[in-house]
Amino acid sequence: MRELTISSDAPGQRLFVLGNEAIARGAIEAGVQVAAAYPGTPSSEILATLAGVAKELGMYVEWSTNEKVAFEVALGASICGVRAMASMKHVGVNVAHDPLMTASHIGAKGGLVLVSADDPWAWSSQNEQDSRYVALQGNIPVLEPSSVQEAKDMMADAFRLSEEFGQLFMLRSVTRIGHGRGDIVLGDISRERRKGSFEKNPDRLAYVPRVARINKPLMLERFERIKKAVNTLAYNQLHMADNARLGIIACGLSYSYTLEAVKWLGLEDKVSVLKVGTPHPLPEELIISLLKSVEEILIVEELDPFVELHVKAIVGEHNIGVRVHGKDVVPRIGELSTRKVSEAIASLTGCKLPVDFVGLDRLEQEGAPLLPLRPPALCPGCSHRASFRAITAAAQRVAREYGEDAEPIYPGDIGCYTLALNPPQHAVDTCICMGGGFGLANGMAHIVEAPIIAHLGDSTFFHSGIPPLINAVYNKANITMIVLDNSATAMTGFQPHPGTGQTATGDEAIAVKAEDVARACGVKFVEVVDSFDLKAATETIEKAIRFQGPALVVCRGPCATIELREKRQAGEKIVPFHIDHDKCDPKCNACIKLLGCPAIIRQGDKTVIDAPLCTGCSLCAQVCPYKAIIQA
């Protein structure tokens, strides 16, 4: 029997998948022809899954330079009549915000879907963000799944709904959906492959003020039709209990928590529950029916009180005598859970919780000191560790010339290298957004007297580092810009980017180099260094800092994880370093204090290298003042 895969045309069969793979499968079933994204956890696996089957299924898939471009690619395809999607994490929606607002006015010809992967508790992000507010601003209908299966079904349905109403739709996922696993029942795969065509229609597509004024009423009319239709969508379900005093409105994944909590508390037949799969627009008819049947309402949703505020507006508009609870008993920060929902319901019903959560918390707190602290760290052999050693050494040399108390400033960015904010690097002073390292440095340069050394990664450079680089040239900002080039979008799963010479589907492409871009933009000091040649890299960066005007240094070194994988596949032996304890001063610890490499540890009164972790990068040997670290 042929093994089932994400692209198998096997309706009715079951497949155990990651939530993001389920979303990709839904797009496959809908016959998506164009998919674009910029990698960002927790969304990356959606496009990665589609890229793996793109040629087999005859679709176009790309990793775009950033989320704005990704959405524009999808919008352009939709305008030409084919089904298209863009996927990104919640903060990526900010980057795509500009075309997103106008796309809602335009409407959709080919089905157009935006997947926003929100990240409650900011597990992999610089902040939490509720993308439903973006949808509210843009009059974009939102589908929000409660399970892995529903994520697939909603994604498939989103394209149909988009074309039925001629409107952009958003699928809002969260981390526990995208990175959860579950069985899905496979549906039919659409084999339709449309031939795209562009019809000139400036009254719809050329957004000058006159066109905007014409099309906004059309958008609002489409939204009103969608508002009526959601009351009959299968994703919105009202389960009424006889004589229920409490009604619960649960949105997306929170519905799954609610079902477990209600069962846990033994309230299955005592509370009414409305499952909401369309938080925008809400199924108002179902909500009004529930509101009129109970005395109290509890809104369960992640993150912000989005549904809660709308339900309260409905209560006021229809003068319904019911008390509405939400974020007064349900946390507004972080992920929800069965426990949190159970505690909220128990606080309103007086039910006894089936578990002594307070006692469990006490045990956890008592046991916590017994566990060793394991803060995240750069990988053994990471080229960024070498780059940061060169950066801080060079910066400290120059800083002394500004005065005894002068400190270098290190505007940082989003990526693996953000870990350098921890000791011993201490080389990240700010971390705001993609490209923000270069951008903030521009502002600081005109205000403070200190060496300013900003850094970002190679993928981030192409994403949003080029405009602030040009700004530095144009406005004569005296800053040093470092591109940490490890030839991958490493933090999110090693996806290719414009600098790698490879597309999402593995095809060869032109490798765009950051140094060439910088020279073309007018940067006068541009150098490329080997990250692991510590002496040369330090000297070059020092020269860059001393240069009057914007300077750029590319620190190039392979991602250790990729390099190790390639060496193992090629059968190449990895030769670790070790410490000659006859030469080593046990009180020195320079290798530990300066580098913080996980492969270098203390055993008793000696410093040793854990051979299985060592990649043979040689960085520790270069910083050892006693030349006690040698390769076997």
Q: Where are the alpha helices (DSSP H) in 182-332?
A: 202-205, 209-229, 253-264, 284-291, 306-318
Helices (H) then strands (E): counts for the chain? 24, 21
Q: What span, in angstroms and rounded, lies between the C-alpha atoms of 293 and 617?
A: 69
Give 490-507 pLDDT, tens digit per residue: 888 899 999 999 999 999
**Residue type, position 19, single letter:** G
Residue 313: its pLDDT value, please? Answer: 98
Alpha carbon 212 to its chain centroid, in Å, reads: 32
Q: Which two tokens stand for residue 274?
A: 């409305």
| Residues with Cβ within 8 Å of residue 164, at least 6 apart in sequence | none
Does 236-353 match 383-567 in CATH topology?
yes
pTM (two decimals): 0.94
Burial class (CB in 10 A: 0-12, 13-18, 19+), 476: exposed
CB 383 within 8 A of CB 555: yes
Residue 201: its pLDDT value, please? Answer: 92
Count the neighbouring beta carbons within 10 Å of the beta carbon of residue 13: 11
Q: Which two tokens stand for residue 169?
A: 């739709």
Q: Which two tokens stand for residue 630?
A: 């040698």
pLDDT category of residue 1 using cuts at 50, 70 and 90: low
CATH of domain 236-353: 3.40.50.920
Q: Which of 297, 305, 310 is nearest to 344 (CA)?
A: 297
CB 591 within 8 A of CB 629: yes
CB 480 within 8 A of CB 408: no
pLDDT category of residue 395 using cuts at 50, 70 and 90: very high
209 three-state secondary structure = helix
Give the fold, CATH level 3, of 14-231.
Rossmann fold (3.40.50)
Phi, psi of 614 (to 5 degrees): -70, 135
pLDDT category of residue 554 using cuts at 50, 70 and 90: very high
Q: What span, in angstroms and rounded, lies between the C-alpha atoms of 48 and 505?
A: 9
pLDDT category of residue 175 using cuts at 50, 70 and 90: very high
Matching residue, tokens 């049947």: 293
Q: What span, in angstroms and rounded, lies between the C-alpha atoms of 553 and 533?
A: 14
Residue 123: its pLDDT value, please? Answer: 92
Q: What span, in angstroms and rounded, lies between the C-alpha atoms of 309 and 133?
A: 12
Domain positions in the chain: 14-231, 236-353, 383-567, 573-631
Give 5-55 pLDDT, tens digit per residue: 999 999 999 999 999 999 999 999 999 999 999 999 999 999 999 999 999
Give 259's Cβ-side CA count (13 Å radius): 13
Q: Which of 111, 224, 208 is nearest to 157 (CA)?
A: 111
Q: What span, in angstroms and rounded, lies between the C-alpha atoms of 609 and 601?
A: 6
Report, as an integer, the average pLDDT of 259-268: 96
Phi, psi of 603 (to 5 degrees): -125, 105
Summary mean pLDDT of the chain:
95
**Dihedral sign for Cα atoms in the order 183, 187, 191, 192:** negative
163 three-state secondary structure = helix
Residue 357: its pLDDT value, please? Answer: 87
Q: Which of 422, 314, 303, 384 is nearest to 554 (CA)?
A: 384
Report, as an integer, the average pLDDT of 525-540: 97
Q: What is the four-CA torsion angle of 599, 603, 605, 606, rounded to 10 degrees?
A: -40
DSSP string covering 549-602, please?
S-EEEEEE---HHHHHHHHHHTTPPP--EEE-TTT--TTT-HHHHHH--TTEEE
Report, as an integer, the average pLDDT of 549-561: 96
Count the neighbouring beta carbons within 10 Å of the beta carbon of residue 137: 12
More confident residue, 546 or 368: 546
Q: How far is CA 215 from CA 96, 101, 259, in A?
A: 21, 12, 42
Thinking of the domain 383-567, which architecture would CATH place it in? 3-Layer(aba) Sandwich (3.40)
pLDDT higher than 80, residue 405:
no
Report, as an integer, the average pLDDT of 283-301: 98
Q: Report the DSSP beta bridge partners of residue 526.
A: 552
| Residues with Cβ within 8 Å of residue 46, at least 6 apart in sequence | 20, 21, 23, 24, 27, 37, 87, 115, 117, 178
Report, as an integer, the average pLDDT of 91-109: 96
Residue 179: its pLDDT value, please? Answer: 97
Count the neighbouring beta carbons within 10 Å of the beta carbon of residue 56: 9
Report, as an integer, the average pLDDT of 454-474: 97
Percent of the chain with pLDDT over 70: 100
Matching residue, tokens 């979303």: 23
Give 119-142 pLDDT, tens digit per residue: 999 999 999 999 999 999 999 999
Report, as an integer, the average pLDDT of 523-527: 98
Matching residue, tokens 């809602």: 104
Is residue 303 reached through a cis peptide bond, with omega within 30 degrees of 0 on the bond before it?
A: yes
- Among 243-247, 263-267, 323-327, 402-406, the range scoring the smallest mean pLDDT is 402-406
DSSP string covering 166-186, please?
T--EEEEEEHHHHT-EEEEE-
Report, as an integer, the average pLDDT of 376-401: 94
Q: Which two tokens stand for residue 438?
A: 């270069």
CB 410 within 8 A of CB 453: yes
Burial class (CB in 10 A: 0-12, 13-18, 19+), 548: exposed
Matching residue, tokens 């929902």: 341
Residue 495: its pLDDT value, please? Answer: 93
Q: What span, in angstroms and rounded, lies between the C-alpha atoms of 548 and 631?
A: 41
Give 419-454 pLDDT, tens digit per residue: 999 999 999 999 999 999 999 999 999 999 899 999
Domain 573-631 has CATH 3.30.70.20: yes
CB 395 within 8 A of CB 452: no
**Dihedral sign for Cα atoms in the order 493, 496, 502, 505:** positive
Q: Where are the alpha helices (DSSP H) in 145-248?
A: 148-165, 175-178, 202-205, 209-229
DSSP string covering 480-510, please?
EEEEEE-SSBGGGT-B--TTTTB-TTS-B--
